[in-house]
Structure 1
Amino acid sequence: MTKVTLTVNGRTMSGECEDRMLLVHFIREKLALTGTHVGCDTTQCGACVIHMDGRSVKSCSILAVQANGSAITTIEGLSAQGELHPVQAAFKEHHGLQCGFCTPGMVMTAVDMINRRGGSLTEEVVRSELEGNICRCTGYHNIVKAVLAADAEMAAGRQAAE
């Protein structure tokens, strides 16, 4: 067993695990943060996307021991003081979720996309960047609308702050 210590959603958290345990299972089973979903364990679906050291990653493709010392943000860490993150609010407003299984991964991918490319997103860019995330309910049209709306809102907020 190996001790793994992470900064998760701003808090230092530790747990012991076997060296072969995937980060997604460590987050869910050892840290009890179940918002990150396990869909395939083969990096195909994107339900397990989290932010590690500021970038979106599929947590089923990383061993927990490899992430030791990293800063992790899960879907639970996006909300601030009870307020939805703008991407979460846009998913709600634009019906960008159906069954909700893919939603955490889609939201985390969208937040990273907006942080990296914000203000310049197009439908084509959003669809391309979301290719690694599968929605089994085929809600892509509303997901893309939600991401574009959140991008516009966040860009306007950045301009107002300047």
Structure 2
Amino acid sequence: MKKIVSTQGLTYGEFREKSLSIAISERINNRLEHSFFQNYGEAVHTSFNLSYNVIAGEITQIVLDYTIDNPTSIRLEWFREHCDNFFALNHFIVDALDQKDPHVYYFATDMFEMASLIHALDIMSVSLESIMCAIDAKLTSKDAIYTPSGSTIIQIPDVPRY
């Protein structure tokens, strides 16, 4: 079994790395908006928020949250359906109860859902490795832990000096 850990030892739930925001805006949002227009014949502009919860270095949930311009219940439902298809994920949710900021979001709380979201973003050339990565759950404090690419060490092994 694997678990997803924070690669930067972060303990709060929101990460605003400028390069990640630019990558999502340029590599995903533009394509998402264009394909929505192709499918529904309506222009839509999106803004997003990526957040997550960390407990003891382990990621327990990831949320990808989108708002669109001129949200109506039908446009939000169309956008939700389009996000499901575009990201090849199920279970995007429409939250239209918040009248100030109705939005569509993907709420991942188990390993499968989180890995599915990470994979969907990775396919579109947006790597979350600088924030989080999957490791074997059986690793201990005595093990060195690297990101999957091997480019970053997450944990230095707790080895006594000799």
Same fold per superposition (TM over 0.5): no
Larger helix fraction of residues: 1
Q: Which has the larger radius of gyration?
A: 2
More contact order relative to length (CA 8 Å, sep ≥ 6):
2
Structure-2-length-normalised TM-score: 0.26
Structure-1-length-normalised TM-score: 0.26
